[in-house]
Amino acid sequence: MRTRSTAAAAVLTCLLTGSVLSGCAEGGDPRKELSAQELLDDANKSMGKLKSVTIEANTTKVGSSSGFSSRLTTDLDSTCTSKVTWDATGAVLEQIRIAETDYVRPNRAYIENWSGKPMAGAQNIWIKTPASRAQPGDGLSACPRDFSSFGTAKKGDAAEVGGTPAIALRVTDKSVKEGAYTFYVATEGEPYILKVVYKGTDYRTTTTYSGFDKPLDVKAPTKALDASKLGN
């Protein structure tokens, strides 16, 4: 990743030169002088400094209505809440992670799909289990998120995401031969990533980011079954 130029450095240059350089005049935007890669690097650095963020994603298979959606609110460290919904089955998996403990609540459709057996009655029970038991593919989320640049970025058109002015950055990578990403980075205020759209031949995903640095109110459920006492 490039580190030689940042939006902050551009602003400092404007101040030191008496605001006479191109783009430094009143009303100018020093970020316009940055390359697409530098804009993306600055955005990733800003995202990495957050104390909390909400991430919502929707993934669909191309040519099908099948897919899943998720919502994660996290402090990017050890506390987060997550909800994943699978469109085809109506299965829902809710999760609260506090430090080393997960509180998990699958709905009836999730349990039936996982076990292959019908279930009588509603399912509203939270299950307490060590976070260390979480495995890739089980639908549970980790609280940290990696914000780092990859591939080759190119500037796109000006855009607006949720009322916030942004610039589209198209990113391609050799490891993703049949798809491309578009990052929408805020051009006012902090250069946060507001949205990422992935379009590939097999599936498409739209991810939005909001709730930047909003206080988290994450509490353990008042009642939860201890998985270790159930022999699980």
Residue pLDDT, tens place only, 172-201? 988 887 889 999 999 999 999 999 999 999
- Kindly state the average pLDDT of the residues 122-143: 91
Question: What type of residue is 28?
Answer: G
Residue pLDDT, tens place only, 69-119? 999 999 999 999 999 999 999 999 999 999 999 999 999 999 998 888 998
**Nearest to 110, CA basis, from 131, 126, 89:** 89
Q: Is the pLDDT of residue 9 over 60?
A: no
Distance CA(155)–CA(182), nearest Å, equals 10
Residues of the chain above pLDDT 90, percent: 70
CA diameter of the chain? 73
Distance CA(8)–CA(12), nearest Å, equals 6
What pLDDT does 215 receive? 95
- Report which DSSP code applies to 98: E
Are the beta carbons of 171 and 199 closer than 8 angstroms? no
Q: How far apart are the first and last CA of the chain?
A: 44
Burial class (CB in 10 A: 0-12, 13-18, 19+), 75: middle
> What b/e readout covers 215-226, taking b as 16+ CB neighbours within 10 angstroms?
eeeeeeeeebee
Q: Report residue 31 as tokens.
A: 């970020």
Residues of the chain above pLDDT 70, percent: 87
- Which residues, 6+ apart, have CB-to-CB distance to 63 below 8 Å? none
pTM, to two decimals: 0.84
